[in-house]
């Protein structure tokens, strides 16, 4: 079964442009083209794209996915590289969660300092933002 890019897009849920982008980025290259230069894909390509999509849903970067794909393609390499990447990625995600949680606290405190019916002249939010400035300064 051989399909063109539009159908691959439908099957995979990726956009046509995204698939072309992965081609340019060497993640999923169409090995064959039609006479008129249309990209042609087979079952293996579908699976590879779904693999990529799943990895993206885990927020892995294209560079990381490229590495996973190449490890996947050479079965005798060791697990360590895969492991290390996933671990670093986990750390990064956890750091980001911690940052955002902190941020969320500050934003909520800020939100509480305003009760909507004033002019901004007396707005607690802007007052707080301005005060933070004069403290730093």
Partner DNA sequence: ATTGACTCTATAGTTACTATAGACTTTAAA
Partner DNA sequence: TTTAAAGTCTATAGTAACTATAGAGTCAAT
> How many Å apart are CA 101 and CA 79, to the nearest integer?
33
How many Cα atoms sit within 13 Å of 107 on the Cβ side?
6
Q: Decide if residue 71 touches Zn ion (CB under 5 A).
A: no
DSSP 36: T
Binding mask 35-64 toward a second copy (x if CB under 8 A, else -) reads -----------xx--xx-xxx--xx-----
CB 113 within 8 A of CB 125: yes
Q: Decide if residue 89 touches DNA (CB under 7 A).
A: no
Task: Name the residue nearer to DNA (CB basis): 20 or 127.
Answer: 20
Q: Decide if residue 79 touches Zn ion (CB under 5 A).
A: yes
Size of site (CB under 8 A) for a second copy: 56
First to last CA, the chain: 67
Q: Decide if residue 72 touches a second copy (CB under 8 A).
A: yes
For residue 82, give both structure tokens. Answer: 């895969």
Identify which of 20, 38, 56, 27 has the alpha carbon closest to the alpha carbon of residue 9: 20
Residue ranges in contact with a second copy by CB under 8 A: 46-47, 50-51, 53-55, 58-59, 68, 71-72, 74-80, 82-83, 86-87, 89-90, 93-94, 96-97, 100-101, 103-104, 106-108, 110-111, 114-121, 123, 125-126, 129-130, 132-134, 136-137
């Amino acid at each position: 079964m051989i399909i063109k890019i539009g159908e691959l897009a439908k099957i995979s849920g990726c956009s046509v442009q995204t698939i072309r982008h992965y081609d340019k980025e060497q993640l999923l290259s169409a090995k064959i083209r039609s006479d008129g230069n249309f990209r042609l894909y087979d079952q293996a390509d579908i699976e590879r794209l779904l693999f990529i999509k799943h990895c993206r849903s885990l927020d892995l970067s294209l560079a990381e996915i490229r590495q996973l794909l190449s490890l996947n393609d050479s079965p005798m390499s060791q697990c360590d590289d895969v492991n290390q990447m996933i671990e670093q990625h986990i750390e990064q995600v956890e750091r980001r969660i911690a940052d955002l949680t902190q941020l969320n606290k500050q934003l909520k405190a800020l939100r509480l300092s305003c009760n909507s019916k004033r002019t901004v002249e007396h707005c607690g939010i802007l007052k707080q933002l301005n005060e933070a400035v004069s403290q730093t300064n």
